[in-house]
Amino acid sequence: MMLLRKPTCVLADEPMAGLTPRERTVVAEALRTLAREGTGVVVTGHDVPDLFEVADHVTWMVAGTTHQIGTPAEARKHDQFVQEYLGPGGAPDDSVSGPGLHGDSEGE
């Protein structure tokens, strides 16, 4: 990821799409570094496990309405979110354990 200036905010739409696992790790770390350095980072997408890897907070948008869910851990416990985005098996609590964008454990 290359930025010419230090932005105050970055919007990354589907930043992990089409990347190898190694490339996903590099992009996730770049997003976390930007956030640690004070840049506001907003990441959108449909690959929820990848989003959980970089998220401090989950906001779910469905049918034009936004829902403030909380941390990725809280999102994994939100019945409707799990049913609609993670499927019948959901995401076990230990399936995604990376730090949030600020490098802390899931934004907590």
Q: Round to whole Å and give the CA distance between 66 and 61.
A: 4
Average pLDDT over the chain, rounded to an integer: 80
Question: pTM, whole model, 2 decimals?
Answer: 0.71
Q: Round to whole Å and give the CA distance between 102 and 54.
A: 9
The whole-number pLDDT of residue 107 equals 40
The whole-number pLDDT of residue 11 equals 93
The domain limits of the chain are 1-55, 57-90
Residues 6+ apart with CB under 8 A from 107: 55, 56, 57, 71, 72, 100, 101
Could you give phi then psi for residue 26, rounded to 5 degrees? -65, -45
